[in-house]
Structure 1
Amino acid sequence: MFSILWRFFPGPAWFRVIVLLAAVVALVWALITYVYPWVAIQLPSPEVTVGS
């Protein structure tokens, strides 16, 4: 998979590394911003009671 991404982006190696790092950062941001809140809503919340 990494070799497909490596061949997909044009330019020298240092530019490819920067573009791949930016793509990873964008993917993580999208997952945290959109996917995780949606999944958290879908999961049932545990009912925790604290008593004596």
Structure 2
Amino acid sequence: MYAALWRMLPGGPITKALIAAVLVVLVFLLLMEVVFPWVSSHMPYNDVAV
């Protein structure tokens, strides 16, 4: 799978590495800013009553 993604990226090896690094950072930021907060609000440990 990673080889197929690598072949789809344009440019030479350095350009591909830079594009892949940017994509990894974008996916990480999307997860941290959108996905994980949404999932956290639906988890049962937020309903704590003492």
Whether these two folds match at TM > 0.5 is: yes
Provide the alpha-carbon RMSD of the alignment.
Answer: 1.3
- Relative to its length, the structure with more helix (as a share) is 2
Q: How does 1:1-52 map to 2 (within 5 A)?
A: 1-44=1-44, 45=46, 47=48, 49=50
Gaps of 5+ in 1: none
Divergent runs of 4+, >2 A: 46-49
Look up the SS of the partner of 2:18 in the other structure: helix
Which structure's CA Rg is the greater one? 1
